Chains A and B, each alone.
Chain A
Amino acid sequence: MLQKADSDLGYIQYRLECEIKTNHPDSAVEKNPVTLLKELSAIKSRYQTLYAHFKPIASEQKETKSRIYTTLNKTMAMIQELQKHTDVELSSLTEEEKTVTEQLK
């Protein structure tokens, strides 16, 4: 009975769409309501797919940037350590490098 109801519903939908397409055939300028309805749901699912694709990329990007920042900090600390041990006076950070370090923070 359920299967019959399901196929009846499918047939009603099909007949309705045929009627609309017959009354309002798609033209170059205008599309019939059924076509528009289908296109609307198509762009909705396309948006959801793209959004689902974007999210992991954005979080991966954040994670890599924080890893870079941590490693950069460790490296700079280690270089200062080296300076102390070897009494080698490396050139201090230029203004530009200082600004950039601040930016990275």
Chain B
Amino acid sequence: ALKDDVNILLDKARLESQESIGFIKATKLLMK
């Protein structure tokens, strides 16, 4: 169970990072 919890949190963190990087790129594009 602990291993699954860690995996879930790791996936969540990775997803958030990807989303934020995309968000930063999009915003920078619009700021030009």
Contacts and interface: CB of A to CB of B under 8 A. Distances in A.
Interface secondary structure of A, over-half rule: helix
Interface in B1-32: 2, 5-6, 9, 12-13, 16, 20, 22-23, 26-27, 29-31
A96 interface: yes
A100 interface: yes
Given A58-B16, A65-B23, A104-B23, A47 B30 contact: no
Contacts, number: 37
Interface in A18-72: 43-44, 47, 50-51, 54, 58, 61, 65, 68, 72
A65 B16 CA distance: 11
A72 B30 contact: yes
Given A47-B6, A51-B9, A100 B20 contact: no
Nearest to B6: A47
Given A54-B13, A61-B20, A65-B20, A47 B26 contact: no
9 contacts: A47-B2, A54-B13, A58-B13, A58-B16, A65-B23, A68-B23, A72-B31, A97-B29, A100-B29
